[in-house]
Structure 1
């Protein structure tokens, strides 16, 4: 079994709002990460963007390419994945504690990344380096340091 670890958790209460870095959070099928504006599934929606994940190694490669050393949460992703290559296959399921997430699509970097650092959007574009989006299949509580495993791929 291939496992990684949850290296960080971040959320923002509104679009373009400040990022809050936290040590633990509750995750639900209805609302995604508690306190994060993206997690709520709209009526008739599929919740494909409830949770965003980025690999620590991909962020580090982007920072190296730009000559920067910004913290990972500048990507505005919810979860930092360490020691695991996230599958680039929609439908893949990950377990973090009791929480099960299903990867739905690539998290394409937006023009907002250019506000963080010039060239960051391009540095995050290749090979899903900007991360993955997921929907919540099963809720629970997660904390920094929890194991992450691929349970279906």
Structure 2
């Protein structure tokens, strides 16, 4: 099998486990069961249009972050990402179009941790999130996203 074919492959679809909106800078995340996307990001979120309109993190990485801190998985609102997804490797989807519910996203750049991770998680919080902070995405096609929606590349 060619390297391109291996890179294009994926084992199973993922699933939306949590949806969070950031109403304003430094305000608490609001957990919702569903939302709509537009070119600007998620309705009710202070997201930015363009390549950082929606942020995603793997649920599996919440456990990894917690393990680096000597605790269980961190709560989904702590990294302040919009969508927590399980069951599919988001890193393998970089640069691809990905269907999440009715919307189509294109993963653009990694979500690097911010200095607030030290404040939120304690000493070493910033380093614990490095490499596990998820991805930013632009909205290719707006639509509804709800808990339990399938996450898969558009082939």
TM-score by length of 2: 0.86
How far apart, CA to CA, are the structure 2 residues paired with 1:151 and 1:87?
15
Q: Does 1:33 align with 2:42?
A: yes
2:142 match? 139
Unaligned stretches of 5+ in structure 1?
42-46
Equivalent residue for 1:62, pick from 56, 60, 65: 65
2:104 counterpart of 1:120? no
- 2: CA distance between counterparts of 1:149 and 1:89? 9
Please report how far the alpha carbon of residue 3 of structure 1 lies from its aligned counterpart in structure 2 after TM superposition. Answer: 0.5
RMSD of Structure 2 on Structure 1 (CA): 1.5
Q: Structure 2 stretches of 5 or more lacking a match? A: 1-9
Residue 67 of structure 1 deviates from its aligned partner by 2.0
Write the deviation string for residues 90-109 of structure 1: whole angstroms up to 9, x where unpaired.
42211012200001100000
1:106 alignment partner in structure 2: 110
Counterpart among 19, 25, 47 of residue 9 in structure 1:
19
SS at match of 2:52: coil
How many residue pairs match? The answer is 143
Q: SS of the counterpart of 1:73?
A: coil
Residue 87 of structure 1: how far off its partner (Å): 2.5
Instruction: Give the match for residue 44 of structure 1.
Output: none
Tell me the distance in 2 between the aligned counterparts of 1:112 and 1:89.
27
Max radius of gyration: which structure? 2
* TM-score, normalised via structure 1 length: 0.87
